[in-house]
Amino acid sequence: MVILIASDQSKIRRGLADRLREGSPHRILAAATVAEMEAMPEAEGALDLLLFSPVFSVAGKEARTRLRTRFPGVQTLALEDGLSLDQILALVQPWLPEAAPGGGGPVVEAGKAPASLGDYDIKALLRETERTLIYKAVQHSVQREVGLERLRPELAADPEAVRDFRRMVRARALVSHPAIAAVYEAQEVNDVIFYTRELVRGNNLVEWAASGNHFPQATLLQMLLTVGDAFEWMLEHGIAHDPVVPAAVYLGPNGTARVANIAQPGEPAAGPVETMPDLANICLRLAEQRGAPVRELSHLLGLMKTRGPHAVTTWKQLARGARTGLQRLTEAHSPLLPESRDQALAKKRLLVRQVSLVGGLLLLGAGVWLGLNWWRQSSRARVRDVSHVITIPAGEFIFRDGQVRRLPEFNVDRYEVTLAEYNAFLEALPHGPANRFDHPDQPPAKKDHQPKDWAEVSAAARAAGAWKGHPITLNAPVFNVDWWDAWAYAKWKGRRLPSEEEWEKAARGPKGNLWPWGNDPDPKRANTGVDYMEKPNAGGKTDGHVWWSDVDAMPLDISAYGVSGMGGNVSEWTGTLVPDPDLPDVQVPVFRGADFHQTQPVPLKASPWLAKSALYAQPFLGFRTVSLPSSP
C-alpha cells in the first residue's frame, strides 16, 4: 500500500511519516509542495491513500483531480490544522487496515467511512442515529463542506431499510426553503448508500444552552420567526417531518437561525405542535439575564407554553407572534421622520406669512411666487406611507417561456422599498449588534449596509432636491444597494427577498402577461429608458422621468394583482441564487425587471439578470420584500 503525506509543516510531515513506517509494510511518501504531491506517485507508479493538509485544499485541487484520474482507487483524507501529531495519527489510523483480498484497497470496518466517497473527502464523524451515520465531508471538485449521511453498513443488505432511506432522501430533496438545509445529491458508491446536504453552521439550541450562552430577545424572536415560517412552508407543501426538537434548530455565530432538514415521507400533521413548550423552555434558558429587556419575547414564550384560545400552537401562529414582537421592537427605536418634517414645514409657513405682511404689495407678490414654489418642493419632500402589501393568492402561473408552476399564497410589497424606509433601517442598526441582520455568508470585508454616496443622496432626498442633476425625494426607491444590503433590510423587517418565481408571478399575473398591465408595451405606463438620456433636464418626454421616479408616481405601471412599479423605475433583487455561467462553482444572485436605463422595452419574461456578484450595486437597482400571508 502506497501512502502519500502532503503537508507544508515539516514537523507533521516527517513525524507522521516516521510513525507510519514503524513496523508497517506500507510504502510511505512525504511531499512538501503541490508539485511533489503530484510527481512522487508518478515516479512510484502507485498511490492508495493521500493525506493532505488544508494548505493543499485549494492550491492542490487540480493536482488531486489528476491523481484520481491516474490512480482510480486512491482514497483521500484532509488533515485539520492545529492538531498534535498524536491526534493526527489517531485520525489517520482507522483508514490504514490491511489490504483487502485481491488488492481491492482498504477494508472499511462497520461504523467507519472510507476516506473518500466519489467526489467527497470524509473529514469527521459528527453523530450517529439508529439508521444512519452523519459525517462532515468536503466535495473536492468545488471545495465545499457538506454534511454526508449514509445508511449504516449493517443495514445496507436490508431491502426495507434501503427503501426507507431512499424515501427519506426523496422527501428531504423536496424541501427548498431558504432557512432549511438543502439536499445536494444522493449517490451509491461501492455499495455505500448516502446523500449530501448543506452543512448547517453554528450550534443547535441544546448546545448553546449547555454552553451557558445568552442572546438578545430580538435574536430569539427572529429565530422563532424563521422556525415558524420554515415549518409552515413545509405544511403548506405537504411535507411531513420529524418532531421539531430544539436540537434541530441552529443559531450561527452572528445569530442567524437555520433549521436542520428533518423531512420524512408521509402526510404532514396539521394539528397543534406538541414540541412548542420545549422550544419555549429552551428559549427562556437562552434569553438574556434578568434586568435585560425581554418583554416581547416573554409574552410570546408564555403563549407557547399555555393552553386555551390565545395559545400559540401552530407554526403560523408562532411566525405571526414573533413577527409582531419584532415590529414592536423596531417601532420603539424607529425615528418619526414625517412628524419632524411637518414641524419644520409649520415653521416655514409662519416665516412666509411674516415676510408677506411686512413687505407690502411688491414683496407680497414675490412671497406668493416663492410660497407656491416652496409648497411644491415641500409637498414632494413629504414622506408618504407606501408600506402596503398585496396578497398574491395560491395557484398556478406562467413562468418564463410558458412553464406552468404553482406557488402558495404570499404577501409582497406593493411598492419598491424607498429611501425613507431604508433610512429607518440604517438608523435602527446602532441599537444592537451591528451584524445581527447580516447574511451568514456575507464577506468579512463588508462592514456595514450604507449604500455608496448615501450622505449626498439622503441629503438631496430630504430637501426634495437633485442628485447628479436628477430630481429625488425620500419617496424614490432606494438604490446603490447590493444583495447583502437588501437581504439584511428584509430580515430587519421580518421578511425576505422574493424568489424569482414569486417576483414573476406578482409582476405578470396568473396569465403570464409580457408587461404588468398586459401584452401591449405601452412606454407611457412605466418609467423605463425608452426616452433615457444621460444629460440632466433632457429626455423623460415619454414617461415624464429621466432617472428614478417616486415609487407611486406611475399609477398605470400596475400588475393584475395590484403590485406597482414592476415594469420600470429600478430593477429589483430577488433571493434566488444560480451558478455563474463562467464560474459554475460560484453562486450569484438574480435581479429582475425593467428600469430607467434600459433603452429598449423589456418583456418581464426576458428580464432575469445575473449580477456579477452579491456586491454588485447600481443606481438602477433596488428591491422589494415578501412574507407569508400571516404577515402584515
CATH of the domain at 273: 1.10.510.10
Report the alpha-carbon distance of residue 440 to residue 258 in Å, rounded. 10
| Cα gap 165→159, rounded to integer Å | 10
End position of a domain, from candidates 163, 198, 233: 198
Task: Compare 587 and 4 and report the one with higher pLDDT.
Answer: 4
- Residue 497: what pLDDT? 95
Calculate mean pLDDT across residues 166-184: 89
**What mean pLDDT is predicted for residues 57-82?**
76
**Cα–Cα nearest to 388, from 73, 50, 109, 627:** 627
Domain boundary residue, one of 198, 213, 246: 198
Highest mean pLDDT among 115-119, 374-378, 556-560: 556-560
| CATH label of the domain that carries residue 54 | 3.30.200.20
Closest CA to 573 of 508, 505, 494, 478: 478
Of 51-65, 365-379, 530-544, least confident by mean pLDDT is: 365-379
| Share of residues in the chain with pLDDT > 90 (%) | 23
Q: Is residue 379 part of a domain?
A: no
53-62, 129-138, 536-545: the lowest-pLDDT one: 536-545
Domain that holds residue 359: 337-372
**Rounded Cα gap, residues 422 and 481, in angstroms:** 10
Q: What is the pLDDT of residues 378-431, one digit of tens each?
A: 445 578 888 889 999 999 998 877 788 889 999 999 999 999 999 999 998 888
Helical (H) or strand (E) element with 132: strand 132-139
| Statement: residue 481 has pLDDT above 90 | yes
Please state the rounded mean pLDDT for residues 183-209.
86
Residue 277, Cβ neighbours under 10 Å: how many? 16
pLDDT at residue 530 is higher than 60: yes
Give yes or no for residue 613 having a pLDDT over 60.
Answer: yes
**What are the start-end ranges of the E strands in 183-266?**
183-189, 192-198, 203-204, 249-251, 257-259
Do 599 and 489 sit in the same domain of this protein?
A: yes
The domain boundary, picked from 130, 165, 198, lies at 198
Mean pLDDT across 498-521: 88
Residue 112 corresponds to which cell in the numbers above? 467507519
Give the pLDDT of residue 64: 81
68 vs 88: CA distance, rounded Å:
23
- 356 pLDDT exceeds 60? no
Q: Do the Cβ atoms of 420 and 475 come closer than 8 Å?
A: yes
Q: Which pLDDT value is given to residue 353?
A: 52
The answer to whether the CB of 283 falls within 8 A of the CB of 297 is yes
**pLDDT at residue number 438:** 92
Residue 381 in any domain: the answer is no
Note the Cα 607 to chain centre separation in Å: 22
Kindly give the pairing relationship between strand 249-251 and strand 203-204.
Answer: antiparallel
On whether both 341 and 268 belong to a single domain, the answer is: no
Positive or negative: CA dihedral 172, 175, 176, 180: negative
Given a cut of 80, is residue 168 above it in pLDDT? yes
Out of 95-104, 482-491, 537-546, give the one with best mean pLDDT.
482-491
Phi and psi at residue 44, to the nearest 5°: -75, -30
CA distance 427 to 334: 7
Same-domain check for residues 166 and 265 = no
Report yes or no: 404 and 309 within 8 Å, Cβ to Cβ.
no
211 lies in the same domain as 189: no
Domain assignment present for residue 28? The answer is yes
Torsion angle of C-alpha atoms 84, 90, 91, 97, degrees rounded to 10: 150
Phi, psi of 133 (to 5 degrees): -120, 135
**Strand arrangement of the beta sheet that strand 389-392 belongs to:** 389-392, 410-413, 626-627
CA distances from 252 to 208, 228, 255, 354, 448 (A): 10, 18, 5, 60, 19
Across 342-365, average pLDDT: 46
Q: What are the φ/ψ torsions at residue 514 (nearest 5 degrees)?
A: -70, -30
Q: Are 229 and 258 in contact (CB under 8 A)?
A: no
pLDDT value of residue 114: 54
Flag whether pLDDT at 22 surpasses 60.
Answer: yes
**pLDDT value at position 311?**
78
The model's confidence at residue 330, banded by pLDDT at 50, 70 and 90, is low
Lowest-confidence region among 81-85, 447-451, 479-483: 81-85
- In this structure, what DSSP letter does residue 482 have? -
Domain identity same for 441 and 511: yes
Residue 81: pLDDT band (50, 70, 90) is: low
What's the CA angle centered on 626, arms 620 and 628, to 5 degrees?
A: 175
Number of domains the chain contains: 4
Residues 407 and 355 in one domain: no
Cell of 122: 470524509
Q: Specify the pLDDT at position 57.
A: 65
What pLDDT was estimated at residue 308? 64
In a domain, 632, yes or no: no
Which of 113-122, 192-201, 614-623 shows the lowest per-residue confidence on average (mean pLDDT)?
A: 113-122
Nearest to 121 by CA among 69, 167, 61, 171: 61
Domain presence at residue 383: no
Q: Are 194 and 186 in contact (CB under 8 A)?
A: yes
Assess if residue 577 is contained within a domain: yes
What pLDDT sits at residue 335? Answer: 41
pTM, full prediction: 0.43
pLDDT band at residue 176 using 50, 70 and 90 as cut-offs: confident
pLDDT at 607: 60
Structural domain contains residue 294: yes
**Do 345 and 376 touch, CB atoms closer than 8 A?**
no
Average pLDDT, integer, range 59-79: 79
Task: Please spell the DSSP secondary structure of 509-534, one letter per residue.
Answer: TTTT-SBTTBS---TTSS--STT--S
Indicate if 329 and 358 belong to the same structural domain.
no
Q: Are residues 614 and 568 in the same domain?
A: yes
**Are both 186 and 234 inside the same structural domain?**
no
Residues 366 and 397 in one domain: no
Give the pLDDT confidence of 548-606 residue by residue, as tens digits: 788 888 888 889 899 998 888 899 999 988 876 556 667 888 888 888 877 656 677 76
**Contact between 181 and 145 (Cβ < 8 Å):** no
Q: Look at residue 293 in the predicted model and tell me its pLDDT.
A: 57
3-state SS assignment for residue 412:
strand
Tell me: do 482 and 345 sit in the same domain.
no
The answer to whether residues 182 and 221 belong to one domain is no
Position 328 in a domain: yes
Of 350-359, 393-402, 588-597, 613-622, minimum mean pLDDT range: 350-359
Q: For residues 379-401, b (16+ Cβ closer than 10 Å) or e, as one string? A: ebbebeebeebbebeeeebbbee
Three-state DSSP at 122 gives: strand
Pairwise CA distance, residues 539 & 525, whole Å: 16
- Lay out the sheet containing 49-52: strands in order across: 27-31, 2-6, 49-52, 75-78
